[in-house]
Structure 1
Amino acid sequence: MTRRIVTFTLAALAVILLAFVAWLGTAGCPLLRIATGSVSRGLCDAAFVSHVDPGQVFREQHAPMMRSIDWAIRYHVDRKHREVRASILGGFAARAVFRPGLGCLLMHDDGPVPEADGFTPMLIASAFPAGVVETADPAIRQAIDRAFAEPDPAHPRNTKAIVVLHDGRLIAERYAPGYGPDTPIWAHSLTKSLINALVGILVREGKLQLDQPAPVPAWRRAGDPHRAVTVNQLLRMDSGLPFDETNGIISPLTRMTFLQRDMAAYAAGTPLAHPPGTHWAYGNLDYVLLGRIVTHASGGSAVDAERFVRRELFAPLGMAHTVIQTDATGTLIGSGGSYGTARDFARFGQLYLDDGMIDGRRILPAGWVAYSHSQTLDTGYGAGFWLNIKHDTRVPVWNAPWGMPQLPKDMYYARGAFGQYVVIVPSEKLVVVRMGISLDYGDGTGDLVAAIIAALHHPQP
């Protein structure tokens, strides 16, 4: 009997081992490498870009998304060498390295770090005064306090920053403990709206045209259906490339972001799912390609691109603490690679509220703002911005709302994962920025802005 039990146990263990090996050879290995890549870069950004507690960021952002394997993840923050390494049970190692002025770079080997030295970014003066500006209006204060509250501890909002501009003036702001006016926060897909502005600047300079075929060298081959894709279609996400951001850990987005050294090459090699201009699909692939286009148009290297971004966009706006990071080839990660303060993104929203002008200087071409929030096909999306005109359907795949029905219809907004928002309400001369680490859709931003608008219409002494 004992021998039979031992034989059965060994056979069962062998089956489990074979199944585990097969899993590693298919989904397992990419999943674990994505996990360690995400942790190493995210905590590198926390430690050396945001200067917040990496352990807190791991607990709030990474562990909840990796509940089945979070116990096995180990990471080390090396402050001397300004890098973070992560592994799972001693394997699947990943390393991210901080580069001054360029942010953190996810390395795909232990080789030399490209463009790590010799770049001193220009200093940018903030457009706002030192110190936190607190509102005198109790209704606005109450609205902001509610946005920082945690009504459902099982689904925390983790609000980190709120900034309110009205008629161009900073009238209210609040920050979570450990965060402040100078704390850059991962902006996720707010980056796509930054890319919209950079493409607009290149259009104004005559270096790009909206209706030209996208200047992607891999798409120039005769007979390639990608040849028909235009810059406009990449901005509007109706290029025909597939919806690439699903709820699972493994998706085209995560494969591209954490497994590929050359993200734009991966995007360019993705087959079209639809003829260009006929179908909308949320496209990180599109914006990675736009990041490559902007990088090439501004000189070709990470340093060239960063200098261009700071000179033409960040410096005029006073965005003193914002950076768009790059991949290992030096390409701007246009899909979601930026970090910036809530104040910086408020200034960015004000640029669009003021029709592309700052202090009498035209940054964006005439008509660019109207173009950016004009509707794409039958969706609630424009060109790098979300709209508030579509409430009869929901975003495909995500089943999320297109807009915020409690707000004016002329509102449009930049939106990033985990609750990053730049809400622009022209009819109210209002910009509201909300940033945090909210893993669920219930971050309350629409209600926050609605309460602020109500308070502005009924000011209290």
Structure 2
Amino acid sequence: MKDPSLSVGRIMLRLLGLAIVALVVLAAWKRPDRALNIAMASAAESLCSGVFVSHLDEKRVFAESVAAQPGLHPLLRGMKTVVDGNTVTVRWHGGFEAKATYYPGYGCALPLRTPSAATLAAARALPPASAEPSVQPGDAAMQAAIATAFAEPTQGPRRNVHAIVVLHQGQIVAERYADGFTPETPQIGYSLSKSVVHALVGILVLQHRLDIAAPAPVAAWRDAADPRHAITIDQLLRMESGLDFPEADTGFDPVSRMMFATRDMAAYAASAPLASPPGTRWEYTSGNTLIVSGIIRDTLGGGAPALLAFAHAELFKPLGMEHVLMEFDGAQSLIGSTRVYASARDWARLGQLYLDDGMAGGRRILPEGWAASAGKRTLGALYGSGFWSNVGPGNESIDGLPSDAYFASGKDGQRVVVVPSDQLVIVRLGSTVDPPNFDMKGVVKLVADVRAACCKDSLAH
């Protein structure tokens, strides 16, 4: 008769062996070393942007943009940062390291996307920006509206509001800046950058160089037998491509790897398989925007220098956006998901372009109706095309926002709100680490308070 304890022992050993194999497979799949490298790259990029582009104190940037991030906070104990010359280095326990280098007139770059000499020359050749005096709100109600938005809550995450600008009927009627910020300070837009990509596509459509309803001109999808061949630029802009490319900001997801560990972001995103037929499912992913960035690059030709010249001549200069910086990946595509900087006034000027149906200074910049399309919902989601939408009836509308409002939105509370019925554009920038909504309640109140201060006749909308 067999000893039952031996059988149990063998079973336990087998289970232990299976558990070890499972852990090895999980580690190989998840690759925590990759996630740690991505975390260090993210921290280095944030520090570089704040210190060198926005000219802020290193400790302030670290506290607001690194230490406060939920994914980075557990790593702070072993993290060391060094700012040397124009380079930021971030290390974790000496085993994981990332560097980000600042290039004047261009921005910051990780080693995988070091800009070419031609790109740096093109960035330095752009006209210098002019000084812009601050406008003080004269109305007490407007002052109170902005002061409330800047005020820190008694509990919960800090708002760290950096700038607010209000345009009414095309004129600046109020603005305020936190210490260290001015009307000329370029500020990272994060996903506000997607709205810049939307505008660049609109210009190319107006020039008959792109057709957003046709199959997207992506080399990897050229074969008509490829199910991705049917994906259109419009579907990419509307986040309904159907690609299996989730965005979770964990360090393990495809978007994290694309952003911090990939040289050619557009090609990496375009390699994703389909998870559903194009146009049938909405899912927000920066991969869609980076594919569009690659299309813009290929349409213009000439890499990053050509795109810099095009964007400034056709978009930024006509709008008076003088404090814009754009960063590119290693394949010279604009990192249009997140890496466009602009002053608060410049972001407001982009919003005004959409409020004015694509017109600026008597010149048509975007196709007629392009702006209205940006605010039209996609598959019932609170997203339009390059902008988030509040347009339409139903419980999905954001309570408190005017029914016709739509807005650009970026990580940590970057917002450009367009309210056509009130002829309003409201910009709110900051470092509000409060995912997933980044003080959306505060933005809704800001919009309501501004409307009450300047637009009493239209509050019925």
TM-score (norm 1): 0.88
Contact 1:125/1:315, CA 8 A, preserved across alignment: no
| Paired amino acid for 1:453 | R
Deviations 1:313-344 (CA, angstroms, capped at 9, x unpaired): 11111111112211122110111111111100
Q: What does the per-residue CA deviation read over 1:103-122, in whole Å, with 9 as the maximum and x for residues that have no partner?
A: 1111139xx75336433232
Rate the CA distance shift 1:24–1:179 in 2: closer, same or farther, 3 A.
farther
Deviation at 1:60, TM superposition (A): 1.0
Corresponding residue for 1:431?
A: 425
Within 2, Cα distance between the matches of 1:86 and 1:21?
29
Instruction: Determine the C-alpha separation between the residues in 1 that align with 2:447 and 2:132.
Output: 25
Alpha-carbon shift at residue 36 of structure 1 (Å): 1.0
Shift of 1:27: 3.4
Residues 102 and 306, structure 1, Cα contact 8 Å, conserved in 2: no
SS of the counterpart of 2:167?
strand
In structure 1, how many angstroms separate the alpha carbons of the residues matched to 2:25 and 2:84?
32
C-alpha distance in 1 between matches for 2:285 and 2:249:
14
Distance 1:390 1:20, change over 3 A: farther
| Matched letter for residue 447 of structure 1 | K
CA contact (8 A) 1:241 1:283 kept: no
Q: Tell whether 2:96 aligns with 1:96.
A: no
**Does the Cα contact within 8 Å between 1:124 and 1:319 map onto a contact in 2?**
no
Structure 1 residues 157 and 242, CA, compared in 2 at 3 Å: closer, same or farther? farther
Instruction: Output one character per residue of 1:282-312: Cα deviation in whole Å (capped at 9) or x when no partner.
Output: 1211100111111222224112111111111
Alignment match, 2:213: 211
Alignment CA distance shift 1:53-1:88 (3 Å): same
Match of 1:121 among 116, 119, 125: 125
Is the Cα–Cα contact under 8 Å of residues 75 and 87 in structure 1 kept in the other structure?
A: yes
Please show how residues 55-454 of structure 1 align to structure 2 within 5 Å: 55-65=59-69, 66-79=72-85, 82-108=86-112, 114-115=116-117, 117-119=120-122, 120-123=124-127, 130-242=132-244, 244-246=246-248, 248-389=250-391, 404-440=398-434, 441=437, 442-443=439-440, 444-454=442-452
Name the CA distance, whole Å, in 1 between partners of 2:125 and 2:447.
35
Once structures 1 and 2 are overlaid, which stretch shifts more, 405-414 or 145-154?
145-154
Q: Retained in 1: the 8 A contact 2:199–2:366?
A: yes
In structure 2, what residue type is equivalent to 1:63? Answer: A
For 1:166 and 1:125, how far apart are their aligned partners in 2?
A: 24
Q: 1:136 to 1:92 in 2, by over 3 A?
A: same
More helix as a share of residues: 2
* Deviation of the 1:454 alpha carbon: 0.9
Aligned pairs for 1:31-70 within 5 A: 31-65=35-69, 66-70=72-76
1:393 CA drift (Å) = 6.0
- One-letter amino acid matched to 2:73: R
Quick one: which amino acid aligns to residue 72 of structure 1? G
The whole-number CA distance in structure 1 between the counterparts of 2:160 and 2:28 is: 34
* Pair 199,374 (structure 1): closer, same or farther in 2 beyond 3 Å: same
Contact 1:242 1:281 in 2 (8 A): no
Q: What does 1:12-23 correspond to in 2, within 5 Å?
A: 23=27
For the 8 Å contact 2:406–2:419, the answer to whether it is kept is yes
Is the 1:391–1:405 Cα contact (8 Å) retained in structure 2?
A: no
**Amino acid in the other structure paired with 2:77:** W
1:250 Cα deviation after fit: 3.1
TM-score (norm 2): 0.88
- The separation in 1 between residues aligned to 2:115 and 2:232, in whole angstroms, is 34
The change in CA–CA distance for 1:249 and 1:139 in structure 2 (over 3 A counts) is farther
Could you say what secondary structure the match of 2:427 adopts? Answer: strand
- Cα distance per residue 1:369-391 (max 9 Å; x no partner): 12222221222211111111367
Letter in structure 2 aligned against 1:427: S
User: CA, structure 1 residues 83+229, in 2 after alignment: closer, same or farther (shift >3 Å)?
Assistant: same
CA distance in 1, matches of 2:388, 2:125: 32
Which amino acid in the other structure matches residue 76 of structure 1? Answer: V
Tell me the matched-pair count. 430
Contact 1:102 1:326 in 2 (8 A): no
Find the residue that maps to 2:74 and give its secondary structure: coil
Matches of 1:250 and 1:391, distance apart in 2:
37
Q: Which amino acid aligns with 2:454?
A: L
Name the Cα RMSD after superposition: 2.4
Kindly indicate whether the alpha-carbon contact (under 8 Å) linking 1:182 and 1:341 is maintained by their aligned counterparts in 2.
yes
Distance 1:392 1:156 in 2: 32
Identity %: 44
C-alpha spacing 1:113/1:243, structure 2 compared with 1 (3 Å): closer
Secondary structure of the corresponding residue to residue 189 of structure 1: helix
**1:243–1:282 Cα contact (<8 Å) kept:** no
Identify unmatched segments of 5+ residues in structure 2. 1-18
Contact 2:50 2:61 in 1 (8 A): yes
Alpha-carbon separation, structure 1, partners of 2:455 and 2:237:
35
Which is worse superposed, 187-196 or 66-75? 66-75
* Contact residue 105 and residue 120 of structure 2 kept, 8 A: no
Q: Which amino acid aligns with 2:443?
A: T
Report the secondary structure of 1:70's partner residue: helix
| Post-superposition offset of 1:159 | 0.6
Indicate conservation of the 8 Å contact 2:115/2:328, yes or no. no
